[in-house]
Amino acid sequence: MNNEQSARLRLLPPVHEFVSDLLKNEEISSFYSSAAITWAVRNSLDKARGIILHTNHNLSGELNSKEKFWQYPTEEFSKEIRKWLVKEVISQLHRSGSTLRRVINATGVILHTNLGRAPLAPEVARFVGEQALAYNNVELDIETGSRGSRYGHVQDLLIELTGAEASLVVNNNAAAVLLIMNTFANQKEVIVSRGELVEVGGAFRIPEVLKTGGAKLVEVGATNKTWLRDYKEAVNSETAMILKVHTSNYRIEGFQHSVSLEELVQLGREFDIPVVEDLGSGSFLDGVEYGLPKEPTIQDAVKNGASLVTFSGDKLLGGPQAGIIVGKKELIEQLKKNQLMRALRVDKLTLAALAGTLQLYQRGEVLKIPVWAMLSKTNDALKEEANSLFALLDGSSSIRVWVEENFSCVGGGAFPTAVLPTFVCAVRPVKNSVVELERYLRSGDVPILARIERDKILLDPRTLLVNDFEEIVKKLKIWD
């Protein structure tokens, strides 16, 4: 430690003194207890000490703009460090000790698994908040006062929206497939086309899930071609089920053939075996109306006779993480009796988020669901948003900005071949590198995730939410 460093360390305010200063600030003291403030002050002082001790040789060089307090001469240091500490304390209190925080998705990938997939509609989030703050009737029948069904709260909505006889909700779609395998195919055979043995990210592979559920996988056909006779030849007395997996995240183009759900249902009837379809990112809406390729809807799968259909809650549905199963009542009843259900069940907040989102479909307020609002943004709207971001950022000396045409994508393994034309705001740093700019955008309380394309950063307005524009501008304006 050199003299300058020890002088600065001595100028740091004592914990109790700084805490009592902050307690006089109503903006802070009316929201946080003195215990929380003390905790945040201790952390912030530790961080300041760390910066003072470790930025020794880089006095004017590579400091983050937030940490400039170190560069002030000792006379001004006292004042500057206090300003920095107030900001740091507020940001620590804001984060409430967790590493989990809101991020801005400027990547243009609508369903980004790393970024939590679907954001909820504001009114759905409000509904979840209300249920979170109180007790609710998750397992109570209000009418009779006796125990009710956890799943009854979304059952009517799911039946109305899909046309199925019954429904069940579990933790996620992987859990839905696992539960189905374990209930109906434990120690028995399940027939799946070789072209559908997919991996859907995070090491979730269809063959592994079948195995975990106790099922014996019987692969039929070839990677590119499977025919009805392949399935038929595989049926025997050990066959528990035919599983069709929607290969949502890749596509075989060209010389290929797969068997339709209707044909499989026909075959299933002949041999009295259930046909289950894992739709992955199932959708209630026909994507074609939104400029997307033709894909079967959940209602199609139900109508075409699948015994059970499974899909995710947080992909195209635009709700919370959940695995939804709809289909024949008799089979759903058997699923409910499986002991695994206790481990796979969803909590009241997930149910609230799902019920709220399903209600938006029921009322025809689909564009209130962020995923569908993003999917259906028009070219004109995207151009206007990119232009307004450009206008707000233009004139900064540290970056060069312009608008260009590019593509967004759906993500989450849905519509792999869909290209969604968009207009992006491109940003190129004047003196720093794009890597530095990208890292800077990712730093701080509200990280901004953007796409790097060679020597520029692209900000795609398609996935930006209302307050995001202001945050992006605020952050880029102070970059130098």
Ligand X SMILES: *Cc1c(COP(=O)(O)O)cnc(C)c1O
- Which chain residues interact with ligand X by CB under 6 A? 172-174, 200, 204, 245-246, 248, 278, 280-281, 312, 323, 413
* Residue 415 or 440 with smaller CB distance to ligand X: 415
For residues 205 and 203, give the distance between their C-alpha atoms in angstroms, rounded to a whole number. Answer: 6
Residue type for position 28: I
Token pair belonging to 246: 């929607």
Closest approach, Cβ 324 to ligand X, in A, equals 9
Q: Least Å distance between CB 137 and ligand X?
A: 26
Nearer to ligand X, 116 or 148 (CB): 116
The two tokens of residue 178 are 């696992």
CB nearer to ligand X: pick between 107 and 172: 172
Tell me whether residue 133 or residue 203 sits nearer to ligand X (CB atom): 203
Residue nearest to ligand X (CB): 280
The residues with which 327 forms a beta bridge, in sequence order, are: 166, 308
Q: How far is residue 162's CA from residue 145's CA, in Å, rounded to a whole number? A: 30
Q: How far is the CB of 305 from ligand X (least distance, A)?
A: 19
- The tokens of 150 are what? 């956890």
Cβ-based burial of 48 (10 A; exposed 0-12, middle 13-18, buried ≥19): buried
Q: Which residue number, 314 or 438, has a Cβ lying nearer to ligand X?
A: 314
Given a contact cutoff of 8 angstroms between Cβ atoms, the answer to whether 408 and 444 are in contact is no
Token pair listed for 137: 């009737």
Instruction: Round to whole Å and give the CA distance between 434 and 271.
Output: 61
User: Which CB sits closer to ligand X, 283 or 463?
Assistant: 283
**CB of 119 or CB of 461, closer to ligand X:** 119
Beta bridge partners of 451: 458
CB of 416 to ligand X, least distance (A): 10
CA 100, 179, 410, 462 torsion-angle sign? negative
CB of 322 to ligand X, least distance (A): 7
Q: Where are the beta strands (DSSP E) in 295-419?
A: 308-312, 323-327, 399-411
Q: Give least dist CB 453 to ligand X, A.
A: 27
The enclosing H or E element of 473 equals helix 468-477
CA distances (Å), 27 to each of 87, 89, 364, in order? 12, 12, 41
Minimum Å distance from CB 418 to ligand X? 14
Question: Measured from the CB atom, is 189 or 278 closer to ligand X?
Answer: 278
Minimum Å gap between C-beta 236 and ligand X is: 26
Q: Round to whole Å and give the CA distance between 245 and 251.
A: 13
